Structure formats: structure tokens, C-alpha cells
Amino acid sequence: MSITVVTGSASGIGAATRTRFEKEGAQVIGIDIKDAEIIADLSTKAGRESAIAGVKQHCGNSIDSFVACAGLATYVRPLSLIPSVNYFGAIDLLDGLFELLKQGRDPAAVVILSNAALWMPPDESPYVQALLNHDEDEAWRILTEYEEADGILLASGQAYMGSKFALGRALRHRASNWGRLGVRLNGVAPGNTDTPMLHKVLEDPNTGDGVRSMVIPLNRFGKSEEIAAVVYFLCSPEASYVHGSIVVVDGGIDANTRPDCF
């Protein structure tokens, strides 16, 4: 039986991912703040270290796949929680579990990004650079500056998009070394997906109208199960030559928004 570790396993895409892997016969070790095998707060360094230790206790010397689903949206306060979970909560566990993945069977890891990460401007953001430098305190400081200069609404968008953009870059930075050592690493960039997180975004007067007005060529929100299906494929032997890629699963939003970019 293969062993899969999933963060954010208690709800949304993480819960659907857990269900899909279990349906395929995997043993799933979930990590979340509640209703999981490992209870850990990934917004803190201590929580991330506890999660890694918990995986080692549950799984011994190896795991076969790791999926980083835990994430926070723009409505979360304080803003510092967004990069702490979205970026550091994924990267610290990726790096912390790498040695266990190396010992797994056909090992692979997937991180959940966002199609919004693809829309970041190409100029270098100090916030993104702080994340890539793994400087959590500096990232928090920069977000405070953004909030003071631009207000909470714009700053929350920068916090979210930047965290997902940096995560995608960090993934690709690791692809060469991970591939040489036999571990595949990919990302999935969902669009608007019918989850509790999306419901809260829709209820937020600052963001709801913008999300509802977004043009989706397939004319509907995605389902968590549809995202989980792509995640499972990327972790399976069927995707044995897919590595360092970011797969957009958004019903055509990105193609509609950036038709000349791919």
C-alpha cells in the first residue's frame, strides 16, 4: 500500500485529494488544524516542525507522495498568516519530507498553487523575493508596508498572489535537483473551485462581485474532485515523465485572460 501525505486534508481540495487517493488504495496521512491524523498549525515554524515530526512517526523512513493543499485566501487576517501557510507551510514540508520521499516507490509531490499566480507582473516584487529568500519576518514586514500604503484590500491581494507565485517559482527552482535524485515535483493551479474557501470569498463584499463577474469559458466553478483527479494523475506512474510543470485547471479562465501567453 502506498503512503500519501496531504496537508489541508480536512476540507476543500485537500479533503477531495484525500478521498481520491484512498479510493485508489493509498494510505493517507492528513495534516490539518483539526480532523486529521496529524494536528498542526502550518502558520508557525513550530507547527511545521511538529507536522514533519508527526509524519516521520506515522510513516517511518519513507512516503510515496506528498500533496500540499493547505492554503488561506485573501479574507484571512492578519495578512501575515497568508504567506506563512501558503508559502512556508508548503516549502518547509516539501524540504522537510524530501528524504522520506527519496525512499518511496515512484515518489512524487504536488503543490496547489492558483491561476492567479500566473498573472503576477514580471518585475521583481520585494515580497516575492523575501519569500524566495525564505525570510518570513521580512515578508511580514513588507506586507505591513503594503497595507499602510495601499490599504488592506490591495495588500491582501498582493499577499495571496505573491505567495502562490513564489511557491510556483520555488517549485521550479527545485525541479532540477529533485529530478536527478528521482523525485518528481509538479504544481496544480486551480481557478475558482467550489470549496468552503470560495464560499467565504463570495460572501466577502470586497471580493464577491469580482469573482462572480469573472468570465469562465466552461460557465461554472470547478469541483474539488476535478482538481484532485489531476493531482492524483501527477502523483501516479501515468505521469512518470511529467516533472517541474504547473498544470492549470481553471475552466479556461487563464486562456481567456491571457490568450497569447502559455
Which active-site residues does the annotation give? Answer: 160
Amino acid identity of residue 233, one-letter, is F
Instruction: Tell me if residue 37 falls in helix, strand or coil.
Output: coil
CA atoms in the 13 A half-sphere facing the CB of 20: 23
Task: Confirm if 37 and 30 have CB atoms less than 8 A apart.
Answer: yes
48/198 Cα distance (integer angstroms): 25
37/39 Cα distance (integer angstroms): 6
170/164 Cα distance (integer angstroms): 10
C-alpha cell at position 230: 489531476
Cα–Cα distances (Å) from 125 to 130, 158, 162, 171, in that order, read 9, 10, 8, 18
**Of the candidates 78, 93, 160, which has an alpha carbon nearest to the alpha carbon of residue 125?**
160
